[in-house]
Amino acid sequence: MNFSAAGLELLKRYEGFRSHIYLDVAGIPTIGYGHRIVAGESFANGIDEAQATQILIRDVHSAEQAVCRLVKAPLTQGQFDALVDFCFNLGAGKLATSTLLKDLNAGNAAAAAEQLLRWDHVGSKELAALKARRQAEFQLWHSAAA
């Protein structure tokens, strides 16, 4: 299964494009469409949207692979897209250890969807932007058109 156009649209909307390095809400150096900068990467002069899109494609591929590796239950396109966005945003490690994944792999997709909504905090602080993103993922999860 591959990330759909609807999933990519959601991801780009919530990440936004930034041509220069910034710190995300967790304080991690980031650039483009939410690309977390890793050791050895340098973007001293920033990047353009074309470069950001190429990096995004690689990052999304990693998130797709993580979802395929971790999820044992069958998924709809909307569920897959929501989980790929979740992994892109929070990392595969968060999905791997989550009640969301346990519920989903146990065959309880409805409970798993509800778990998405719980991931709207950084530390102990609820963030409106994360709350909105999780709600958008929840809607995508339930979308028949995705």
Q: Which residues are catalytic?
A: 15, 24
Q: Rounded to two decimals, what is the model's pTM?
A: 0.92
* pLDDT recorded at residue 123: 83
DSSP string, 100-145: HHHHHHTT-HHHHHHHHTT--EETTEE-HHHHHHHHHHHHHHT-S-
Count of positions (residues) in the chain: 146
CA torsion angle for 125, 128, 132, 135 (degrees, to 10)?
Answer: 40
* pLDDT recorded at residue 144: 64
pLDDT in tens, 64-119: 999 999 999 999 999 999 999 999 999 999 999 999 999 999 999 999 999 999 99
Q: Which residue has the higher pLDDT, 25 or 101?
A: 101
What spatial distance separates the first Cα and last Cα of the chain, rounded to whole Å?
A: 12
CATH match for 5-141 among 3.20.20.70, 1.10.530.40, 3.30.1780.10, 3.40.50.300: 1.10.530.40
Question: Is residue 121 pLDDT above 50, yes or no?
Answer: yes
* pLDDT recorded at residue 146: 42
pLDDT in tens, 36-70: 999 999 999 999 999 999 999 999 999 999 999 99
Residue type, 79: Q
* pLDDT recorded at residue 25: 81
